[in-house]
Chain A
């Protein structure tokens, strides 16, 4: 394409974004916009898929049938969310198999939070309350992202996630108001998950190099630090209601700013976990690969069946 056409198209594209119009799959878009979205949506999808593991770990050990049914439904939702997101990524012209392969070979990332272990049953509650709470804060902002299929997936996911957060809160409430041991288990869990949850929003704004372009393209609508502040402001009163404390001595209300102040985040730890040195990185990927390989015979059987019955058995639509 001649250079002039290219810059004209880019101007028209940006004008459409600035007018708050969504970009749809077959619209012209700059290659970097497409690449940025593919990377972000794929990472988001991978996070949902890997995110099934920490909680899935507790399904067979849930303390009651009620809790087991809830946890099964929640983990199934995470799988669904991953699939909505892969579906959105594919509208950008990328092959889903390629994305799955990149995850399994460790060439694409997922949220670092899932590299922490779920040591006790209380962690199931804390993940729902804090981790899903942080995810919802982030995803609510993304319901207004400029790429239509991504925004629509976010709307659906947010609607479903609200049950995830509430069941976690309720679970922790029961533990917190239970025996001394149960209360201690809940507190220990919150102590371990609080700081990693704050890291979920990503590096501070001044250290987030891709943010400016993503904001200009309205892929990202709210900055990392602002989302983090929203989450803290929302969570502190919830912790009080739970009768649990947050492990930060510097946490205090700033009347002037109208926000909570909080202590410094250990960004070295974040870098280590993102870089593959977290407590469970290797385990998560090994489990994902094993699940994929163990399912190979099912995919093969389904392919063979389809090849032998080309007409299928389903009803024609009317």
Chain B
């Protein structure tokens, strides 16, 4: 296979059963969305793992920068008042 001949990469998301959201399970190559769905069905749901599949072109997924992890995700750490455990209420009450 010459690398240029490669069809696009797709990320695959599977809903394992109704009531749950789609989860990322892996990726595959396919020339279009229809074949990506068919391939995803053969590749990722051989044992009844899903009731619905999404495929998304990998090139269309934008991700946060791991080096920015601190600035992006640390700020909530000092906002403990966002958690219910921050508050003191009478112990014998259901609240």
Contacts and interface: CB of A to CB of B under 8 A. Distances in A.
Interface in A68-92: 73, 76-77, 80, 83-84, 87-88, 90-91
Contact of A80 (B4, B34, B35, B43): B43
Contact of B28 (A87, A101, A160, A306): A87
Interface string B45-77: 011000000110000000101110000000000
B59 to A, nearest CB: 13
A26 B54 contact: no
B5 interface: yes
B27 A77 contact: no
Interface in B17-42: 26-35, 37, 42
A139 B30 CA distance: 28
A313 B46 CA distance: 23
Interface residues of A, number: 34
Contacts of B28: 83, 87
A91 B34 CA distance: 23
A104 B65 CA distance: 36
Interface stretch (A221-229, A252-260, A297-305): A297-305
B84 interface: no
Mostly, the A contact residues are helix
B3 interface: yes
A27 B54 CA distance: 26
A101 B4 CA distance: 12
Given A90-B9, A97-B1, A28 B67 contact: yes
A312 interface: yes
A153 B28 CA distance: 13
B11 to A, nearest CB: 10
Contacts, number: 72
B10 to A, nearest CB: 10
Interface residues of B, number: 29
A83 B43 contact: yes
B85 interface: no
A77 B42 CA distance: 10
A102 to B, nearest CB: 10
Contact of A101 (B2, B26, B30, B31): B2
Contact of B3 (A91, A101, A299): A101
A26 B1 contact: no
A302 B1 contact: no
B49 to A, nearest CB: 9
Interface of A: 24, 26-28, 73, 76-77, 80, 83-84, 87-88, 90-91, 95-98, 100-101, 104, 153, 160, 292, 299, 302-303, 305-306, 309, 312-314, 317
Given A73-B46, A160-B47, A314-B34, 15 more contacts: A80-B46, A87-B27, A88-B26, A90-B9, A90-B27, A91-B27, A95-B6, A96-B1, A96-B6, A97-B2, A101-B2, A303-B31, A306-B35, A309-B32, A313-B34
18 contacts: A28-B66, A83-B28, A84-B26, A91-B27, A96-B1, A101-B3, A160-B46, A160-B47, A299-B7, A299-B31, A302-B30, A302-B32, A303-B7, A303-B31, A306-B35, A312-B32, A313-B34, A314-B37
